[in-house]
Structure 1
Amino acid sequence: MKTLNQKNKQIKKPSLEYYLNLQYPVTIYPDLESGYVAHIKDLPGCLIQGETIEETMANINEARELWIETAYEAGDNIPLPSTDDNYSGKLLLRMPKSLHRSLAEAAEQENVSLNQYIVYLLSASM
């Protein structure tokens, strides 16, 4: 019978190339002082800037590779890229009764469902 340690030793860690070939979502936004800023939320601290979008994308790709290589060599956990599969589109939300009533009344005035009205408000605020 194998011990837990023996079982753990049989689990093979993916190669560095495996991690380097993963496609991580990148968020890029304008920065008034430096041009653009980009970050990869799945890789904590992986943040970079550039004067143009092209330069910023090149910089974030280099930063991603360095982040992964460093974590791999240190034996740290490398998170997998997040996807929309992580989000069902459903959200249970608790709110004060008075807010619920106000939203329901406003939705009724607009002749839409409460759900549609809340999605509209959230979208407009983004």
Structure 2
Amino acid sequence: MGNPATYKVMFRKEPEGGYTAIVPSLPGCITYGTTIDDAKYNAKEAIALYIESLETHGEPVPTEEDLLEYTLSIP
């Protein structure tokens, strides 16, 4: 990867404490941290390892170019 990639990360505060970090563009790329800073650090590490694994296996690395983001309200 020549240029740094940018990925959106969603953070969810967990009822028992800590934060779950989810990377929507990288299916299954989910991590956790006891603080928001821990979750951010762990998310960066998880993204790097995810991309490294894809590259090792010769698989394409997803980008956010085709990502569509919507917020839906459920009655």
Both structures adopt the same fold (TM-score exceeding 0.5): yes
Identity %: 29
Partner Cα distance (2:45, 2:13) in 1 = 19
Question: Unpaired runs of 5+ in structure 2?
Answer: none
TM-score (norm 1): 0.51
Partner of 2:28, secondary structure, is: coil
For 1:75, give the aligned amino acid.
G
Give the root-mean-square deviation of aligned CA atoms: 2.1
Question: Unpaired runs of 5+ in structure 1?
Answer: 1-15, 90-121
Following TM superposition, the consecutive aligned residue runs of length 4 or more in structure 1 with deviations greater than 6 angstroms are none
How far off is 1:25 after superposition?
Answer: 0.6
Q: 2:13 aligns with which of 30, 34, 53?
A: 30
**How many aligned positions are there?**
72
Higher strand share: 2
- Greater gyration radius: 1
Q: Which has the higher contact order (CA 8 A, sep 6+)?
A: 2
Q: 1:58 aligns with which of 20, 41, 51?
A: 41
